[in-house]
Structure 1
Amino acid sequence: MFTKCLQISSVSGDYLQDNDDLYCWRNGAVTSIQLNTEETNWIGKIDNTQQLFFSDKSSIYPYRQYHCIKKVSKNDGVLCFALEADIFPVSIVDDKIYAEYDNGEHVYISELNLLDFSNKALFVINQKRLLLSINCFFFLTTGRNTIECHSLATGAELWKVDVGELGQYEDMKGQMVKGEVSAVFALGDTVVAKVKASVLVGYSVESGEQRWLHRFGSGNVYLLAFYEGVFHVFADLYYEIDGASGQILSKKPYRELLVEANVKDYWLTTPAVSDKYIAISSHYDTAILLINRSAFTVEQRIALEGCKSGIPLSNAPRLYGNRLYQLDGDGTLHIFEEKE
Structure 2
Amino acid sequence: MYHLLQENKSISSDMHYCGDSIVCEYDGFIEIFDEKTKNRIEINEKFAIENTNTSEYLLVSTKNKILKISMSNLLIETLVDFPPVQRRQIKFVNDIDAICREKDNDKWFLRGVSLTSELIKWEVENDTTFTVEVVGDFVLLTDSEKNSILTCRSLKTGGVLWQADVAELGRYENFEGKVVDGSIREVYTDGDLVVAKVISYGLAAYRMATGKFVWGHKGGNAGYYLVALYNNNFHIFSDFYYEVDAQTGKKLRQEEFAPLLKQVGFRSYWLTQPAVNEKYIAIASHYDSAILLINRADFTVAQRIDLEGCQNGIPLPNTPRFHGNRLFQFDGDGTLHVFQED
TM-score by length of 2: 0.88
Where in structure 2 are the equivalents of 1:108-123 lying within 5 Å? 108-113=109-114, 116=116, 118=118, 120-123=120-123
Equivalent residue, structure 2, for 1:159? 162
Structure 2: distance between partners of 1:188 and 1:38: 36
Q: Is the 8 A contact 1:6 1:38 kept in 2?
A: no
Letter in 1 for 2:34: Q
The CA deviation at 1:330 is 1.0
Where in structure 2 are the equivalents of 1:11-160 lying within 5 Å? 11-25=11-25, 28-36=28-36, 38-40=38-40, 42-47=41-46, 49=47, 51-55=48-52, 56-63=54-61, 69-81=66-78, 83=82, 84-85=84-85, 86-90=87-91, 92=93, 96-104=97-105, 107-113=108-114, 116=116, 118=118, 120-129=120-129, 130-142=131-143, 143-160=146-163
Equivalent residue, structure 2, for 1:201? 204
Q: Does 1:169 align with 2:167?
A: no
SS at match of 2:12: strand
Structure 2: distance between partners of 1:110 and 1:214: 34
Q: Does 1:249 align with 2:247?
A: no
Structure 1: distance between partners of 2:222 and 2:190: 26
Letter in 1 for 2:298: A
Q: Is the 8 A contact 2:50 2:92 kept in 1?
A: no
Structure 2: distance between partners of 1:117 and 1:302: 50
Equivalent residue, structure 1, for 2:336? 333
Structure 2: distance between partners of 1:106 and 1:25: 27
Of stretches 221-230 and 124-133 in structure 1, the one that deviates more from structure 2 is 124-133
Equivalent residue, structure 1, for 2:3? 3
Structure 1: distance between partners of 2:106 and 2:27: 36
Structure 2: distance between partners of 1:117 and 1:196: 41
Distance 1:312 1:89, change over 3 A: same
Identical amino acids, percent of aligned pairs: 36
Letter in 2 for 1:45: N
The CA deviation at 1:321 is 0.7
The CA deviation at 1:298 is 0.6
Q: Does 1:237 align with 2:240?
A: yes
Letter in 1 for 2:71: K
Structure 2: distance between partners of 1:227 and 1:117: 37
The CA deviation at 1:97 is 3.1
**Structure 2 unaligned spans of 5+:** none
SS at match of 2:141: strand
Structure 2: distance between partners of 1:172 and 1:200: 23
SS at match of 1:314: coil
Equivalent residue, structure 2, for 1:223? 226
Structure 2: distance between partners of 1:145 and 1:93: 29
Distance 1:262 1:26, change over 3 A: same
What's the RMSD between the two structures over aligned residues?
2.5
Q: Deviations over 1:62-83 (max 9, x none)?
A: 446x776543333444432265
Q: Deviations over 1:129-182 (max 9, x none)?
A: 133221122223331111222222333322222111111122233322111111
The CA deviation at 1:209 is 1.7
**Structure 1 unaligned spans of 5+:** none
Q: Does 1:260 align with 2:263?
A: yes
TM-score by length of 1: 0.89
Structure 2: distance between partners of 1:332 and 1:117: 41
Distance 1:10 1:131, change over 3 A: closer
